[in-house]
């Protein structure tokens, strides 16, 4: 796509903006001068976000909408055009989390995760596409997860939905190229991020869950999203831990299976009790956690060398193929060494911690 506008001149929709990555991204876009339309199920969360944007000199508009409703997504896109005259970038972040073994999951719960995390992204892209085409082009930026490339135990519904997002984006990316549609498609795949996703999650573990460490700040993902709004990139992996897992999965999936069997369960457990009937946001919003950060980041990293490379064009495009081979070799060496030593007592976070 040629002639992409500078971020300060863009009209941006952020779907799933009331908390976490979406909220951080909306604030970053507004700080850069973009006109931002924010959408989520939580009116309170959106109102507080728009106030924060305007208090810092930005321009924002809120539209309450559920991503599972295609008509509501069309209304968000239409409102962006009605308010600001066009649509340049659609950022889709909305998602829910269920942490439970498959045997403890109901069909209704599994279907709801798919409905929000996968079909919601489809509805968003469908709503944005006509406006992006008509206005001369733009960007679809979809946030999935490292779970888009590797399934995680106790997250079968979540990682199934993220795998679906990955396949969906690959398909429409080729369609757009074939049909000369001037819209770029970016898949942002973060590692574990300290957002309210875990505070809001439905869990059947008896404690508040977390995903495999290390944990990174939401602002790191927001920076990656802004990079994608400036540069037509295919994928961005956020966090060296995510890159390690994705690379290892591509190179040696059975070894990753072995690591997951030994450590992929216990890394989900925290010391914070959370009964099965505790409030969650699977079927309704939970405004108590309409914040950027969550409560699982006591030891969160603030930076990622890998993401710094990914979001600097001179480094991203100059990386030789040999570098990728070296990463793969290093991952395989580490996995094999740990497989030989682990004997079931070395958790996954030690595999990932050095990233």
User: Would you name the residues annotated as active-site residues?
Assistant: 158
What is residue 187's three-state secondary structure?
A: strand
Say which residue the tokens 């309170």 belong to. 44
Contact 95, 116 (CB under 8 A): yes
Which tokens go with 10?
Answer: 């863009």
In which region does residue 90 sit, left (phi positive, over 0), alpha (psi from -120 to 50) or beta (all else)?
Answer: beta
Say which residue the tokens 């340049």 belong to. 88
Q: Residue 346's CB: how many other CB atoms inside 10 A?
A: 15
Which tokens go with 348?
Answer: 């996954």
Which tokens go with 336?
Answer: 């094999």
Which tokens go with 149?
Answer: 């490339």
Q: Which of 154, 145, 225 is nearest to 191 (CA)?
A: 145
Mapping DSSP onto H, E and C, the string for 84-116 reads: HCCCCEEEECCCCCEEECHHHCCHHHHHHHHHH
Q: Which of 291, 68, 115 is nearest to 198 (CA)?
A: 291
Rounded to a whole number, what is the distance in angstroms from the first to the last CA of the chain?
34
Strand 207-209 to strand 269-273: parallel, antiparallel, or no bridges (unpaired)?
Answer: antiparallel
């Amino acid at each position: 796509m040629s002639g992409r506008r500078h971020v300060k001149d863009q009209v941006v929709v952020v779907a799933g903006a009331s908390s976490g990555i979406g909220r951080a991204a909306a604030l970053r876009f507004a700080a850069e001068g973009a006109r931002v339309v924010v959408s989520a199920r939580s009116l309170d969360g959106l109102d507080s976000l728009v106030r924060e944007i305007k208090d810092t000199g930005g321009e924002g508009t809120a539209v309450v909408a559920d991503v599972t409703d295609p008509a509501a997504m069309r209304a968000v896109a239409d409102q962006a055009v009605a308010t600001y005259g066009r649509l340049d970038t659609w950022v889709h972040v909305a998602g829910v989390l269920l942490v439970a073994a498959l045997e403890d999951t109901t069909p209704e719960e599994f279907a709801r995760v798919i409905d929000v995390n996968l079909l919601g992204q489809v509805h968003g892209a469908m709503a944005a596409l006509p406006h992006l085409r008509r206005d001369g082009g733009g960007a679809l930026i979809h946030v999935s997860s490292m779970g888009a490339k590797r399934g995680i135990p106790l997250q079968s519904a979540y990682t199934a939905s993220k795998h679906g997002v990955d396949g969906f984006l690959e398909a429409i990316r080729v369609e757009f190229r074939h049909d000369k549609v001037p819209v770029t498609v970016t898949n942002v795949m973060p590692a574990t991020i300290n957002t309210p996703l875990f505070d809001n999650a439905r869990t059947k573990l008896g404690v508040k869950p977390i995903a495999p460490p290390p944990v990174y700040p939401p602002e790191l993902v927001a920076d990656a999203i802004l990079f994608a709004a400036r540069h037509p990139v295919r994928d961005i992996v956020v966090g060296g831990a995510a890159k390690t897992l994705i690379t290892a999965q591509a190179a040696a999936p059975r070894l990753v299976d072995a690591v997951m069997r030994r450590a992929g369960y216990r890394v989900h457990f925290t010391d914070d009790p959370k009964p099965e009937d505790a409030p969650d946001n699977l079927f309704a919003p939970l405004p108590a956690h309409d914040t950027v950060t969550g409560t699982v980041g006591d030891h969160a990293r603030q930076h990622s060398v890998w993401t710094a490379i990914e979001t600097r064009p001179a480094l991203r495009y100059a990386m030789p193929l040999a570098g990728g081979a070296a990463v793969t070799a290093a991952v395989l060496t580490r996995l094999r060494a740990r497989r030989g030593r682990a004997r079931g007592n070395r958790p996954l976070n030690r595999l990932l911690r050095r990233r």
